[in-house]
Structures are given as C-alpha cells and as structure tokens.
Amino acid sequence: MSKLDYRPTTPRTAVPPGNYTAHTYATAFDTISDDRIDGNDTYHVVLWPGPIVEPHVLKRYPHLPIPG
C-alpha cells in the first residue's frame, strides 16, 4: 500500500453538503522529500458554512519544491 493510500486509522469527519469557507493551516514544508511523498508536514483544516470566495494566500514558500 502506498503512503498516499487511504488509511483506516485516519480520523474522518462527515461534512453535510453545502458551501463552506475553509482555513487551512500547514507546517514543515521544508521537511518534504523531493519526490513529495515523505516528510513531517502537517495540516489542519477548519470549515464553517459560508459563501464561496476567491482563495486568499497568507504566506507562500517560493524556495520549496512544491507549489504554494
């Protein structure tokens, strides 16, 4: 099984259909391997009901080998 495949132990949350606003927090991009599979990067996503809006990037990491 690939590291990117579904893991049954990964926490899941049911989200009802609808429009949501999201805030995504991410850290440790500089630990991601060149093949973008391994790393100590972590992500936290917060959703709340809201309108669809254009994305707003608060911080970019142009020196890293990943988009964003």
Q: What is the pLDDT of residue 36?
A: 77
Q: What is the pLDDT of residue 39?
A: 85
Tens digit of pLDDT for each residue in 17-63? 999 998 888 888 888 888 877 888 888 889 999 998 898 888 777 77
Contacts of 49 (CB under 8 A, 6+ apart): 18, 19, 20, 21
Residue 29 corresponds to which tokens in the numbers above? 């991009």
Domain map (residue ranges) of the chain: 1-68
Phi-psi group of 36: left, alpha or beta (phi > 0 → left; psi -120 to 50 → alpha; rest → beta)? left
pLDDT range class, residue 11, cuts 50, 70, 90: confident
Is the distance from CB of 33 to CB of 39 less than 8 angstroms? Answer: yes
Residue 13 above 60 pLDDT?
yes
